[in-house]
């Protein structure tokens, strides 16, 4: 393969990788990192790859690396958030924020027990999947599923509340 052809293919694959990472919510710098990692992974497998499927493979690799990137990002604990500055906020806004927090707490308490515990252990106590599984005596593979399910239910409740208001 000639150098020009190789440069063209590499540029196309890099663009596809960046586009995939960006579509999954990464910023430009992180998407470039994902693209570089994807191309390095493909380069290490170059002897085993079929050229016809290389573009589909780079998209898959970039997607998987993007998901891994999101998983590595630290979650924000729910108990340490600052919603409003109480010294510079109107009383009616403070009442709305307090009402929102009570509503969210009720919705969280309404979750099935295991989902609530997984959510609490991850977001508030900052436990790992392995620690949560050990505490709750469940499989490690169940933790992300339960966490996702709890978050999805809360998100759906929030969306329903916004439609009503």
Long-range (24+ apart) CB contacts under 8 A made by 136-139 are: 138/114
pLDDT of residue 145: 92
pLDDT band, very low/low/confident/very high, at 7 (cuts 50, 70, 90): confident
CATH architecture of 78-164: Orthogonal Bundle (1.10)
Domain ranges of the chain: 3-72, 78-164
CA–CA dist 60, 30 (Å, integer): 17
Question: CA 123, 143, 107 angle in degrees (round to 5)?
Answer: 50
Per residue in 51-82, pLDDT tens?
A: 777 888 889 999 999 888 888 776 555 555 55
Q: Contact, 58 vs 38, CB < 8 A?
A: yes
Q: Given a cut of 80, is residue 156 above it in pLDDT?
A: yes
Per residue in 68-121, pLDDT tens?
A: 888 877 655 555 555 555 556 677 777 888 888 899 889 999 999 999 999 989
Is the full-model pTM beyond 0.85? no
Specify the 3-state DSSP secondary structure of 16.
Answer: helix
Backbone angles phi, psi at 115, to 5 degrees: -65, -45
């Amino acid at each position: 393969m000639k150098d020009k052809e190789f440069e063209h293919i590499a540029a196309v694959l890099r663009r596809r990788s960046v586009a995939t990472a960006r579509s999954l919510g990464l910023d430009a710098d992180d998407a470039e990192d994902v693209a570089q990692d994807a191309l390095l992974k493909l380069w290490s497998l170059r002897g085993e790859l079929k050229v016809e499927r290389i573009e589909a493979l780079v998209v898959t690799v970039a997607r998987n690396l993007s998901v891994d990137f999101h998983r590595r990002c630290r979650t924000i604990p729910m108990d340490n958030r600052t919603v409003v500055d109480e010294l510079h906020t109107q009383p009616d806004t403070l009442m709305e924020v307090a009402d929102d927090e009570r509503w969210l707490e009720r919705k969280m308490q309404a979750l099935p027990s295991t989902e609530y515990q997984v959510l609490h252990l991850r977001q508030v106590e900052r436990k790992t999947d392995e620690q949560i599984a050990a505490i709750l005596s469940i499989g490690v593979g169940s933790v992300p599923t339960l966490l996702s399910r709890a978050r999805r239910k809360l998100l759906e409740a929030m969306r329903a509340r916004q439609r009503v208001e």
